Amino acid sequence: MDGEAPLPDADTVMSDAVPPPDPHHQQQHAPVPGMENIPATLSHGGRFIQYNIFGNIFEVTAKYKPPIMPIGKGAYGIVCSALNSETNEHVALKKIANAFDNKIDAKRTLREIKLLRHMDHENVVAIRDIIPPPQRTAFNDVYIAYELMDTDLHQIIRSNQALSEEHYKNTSQLYMEGKAKQKTVAQHDNTLSQLLQQIEEMKPK
């Protein structure tokens, strides 16, 4: 849309997030111009709430309150920040539209959820919630609430801010620690997959 501020890539926001120095700190993202007051509509007897963001309908459980604002976009849609009124925590809401239309994309989404739920590391973005659909027998969109980060490596690299050698060292260390954790979990996941395959092959034909 003309005149709107560009948004960071949503996939980068999720995969290469850098946690803030203070784990109790919550970043208040600046609103995208023109999106400061997004109207909300209650649905399904007040259990869910809808937001229209750039023509994309976000429908999440009613505990996710305004202010809601876009903070990133990518191939899978727009990522928004919102307030979880039950925990008083700001989270990043990611909508994966038509998640089951493509088998490969559906597997990728499932893998992302499974891996991140196994991880518990300060340098890997955490899943806070898998938002249930209004009708569990008929739905096609998946909503995931992630830990809201101050920034990500993509934003840091593209920033005009001068970085000191200490910044480079700290950021590199955070990145490597996070990647090391991801590799450990991925290897564990591969081992289980291989074991299940071997068991399947041993079954009588």
Q: Is 94 annotated as a binding residue?
A: yes
Q: Mind giving me the DSSP string for the chain? A: -TTPPP--BHHHHHHSEE--SSTT----PPPPTT-SS--EEEETTTTEEEEEETTEEEEEETTEEEEEEEEEEETTEEEEEEEETTTTEEEEEEEETTTTSSHHHHHHHHHHHHHHHH---TTS--EEEEEPPSSTTS---EEEEEEPPSEEHHHHHH--S---HHHHHHHHHHHHHHHHHHHHHHHHHHHHHHHHHHHHHHS--
The pLDDT of residue 138 is above 80: yes
Residue 54 or residue 127, greater confidence: 127
Other CB atoms within a 10 A radius of the CB of residue 181 amount to 17
The pLDDT of residue 28 is above 70: no
User: What is the percent of the chain where pLDDT is above 90?
Assistant: 18
Instruction: Share the mean pLDDT of the chain.
Output: 71
- pLDDT (tens digit per residue) in 149-169: 776 666 666 777 777 777 777
Residue with tokens 């990518």: 74
Residue 8 or residue 154, greater confidence: 154
Name the CATH superfamily, with its identifier, for domain 10-202. Phosphorylase Kinase; domain 1 (3.30.200.20)
- pLDDT (tens digit per residue) in 65-119: 887 888 877 666 678 999 999 999 999 999 988 888 888 888 888 888 887 777 7
The pLDDT of residue 29 is above 60: no
Angle between helices 103-118 and 165-202 (to 10 degrees): 110
- pLDDT-based confidence at 128, cuts 50/70/90? very high
Residues 58, 142: contact at Cβ < 8 Å?
Answer: no
**Taking residues 111-130, what's their average pLDDT?**
79
**Taking residues 175-197, what's their average pLDDT?**
53
Ordered by start, the domain boundaries in the chain are 10-202
Residue 38 or residue 35, greater confidence: 38
**Sign of the Cα pseudo-torsion (100, 127, 28, 85, in order):** positive
The pLDDT of residue 173 is above 80: no
Q: Mind giving me the DSSP string for 76-106? A: TEEEEEEEETTTTEEEEEEEETTTTSSHHHH
Q: Which amino acid is at 102?
A: N
